[in-house]
Amino acid sequence: MSAVHLNDSGITFKITIKDEDSNVIDVSNATSLFINFKKPDGTILSKPAILFTDGTDGIIYYITNPTDLNLSGLWSLQANVVTSTSNLKTNIYDFRVERNVT
């Protein structure tokens, strides 16, 4: 991932949903797709995710808007996928939001 800066918009966060053996999970029948972002101040920003293709590849994504990345520092994210039979969460991934000069 390239550098992410304060108030960047159009940043795509893409996650592949996998099981504990690293096998891709088909999420085409998911009833709910979210990516939860934990800000540096500890608050949670929950954003609806979209299937990247038809869901059989397990990939979901979210594209930021200008108000999402509103704090500089260390952020975390985790995908949450709900199907009729399960509630799946991915590993937690960290990324840094850098300050701007102006």
Count: domains in the chain: 1
Q: Which domain holds residue 39?
A: 4-98
The pTM of this model reads 0.92
CA atoms within 13 A on the CB side of 9: 3
pLDDT in tens, 65-95: 999 999 999 999 999 999 988 899 999 999 9
29: domain CATH number is 2.60.40.10
End-to-end Cα separation, the chain, in angstroms: 23
Phi first, then psi, for residue 34 (nearest 5°) are: -135, 150
Asked if residue 59 has pLDDT above 80, the reply is yes
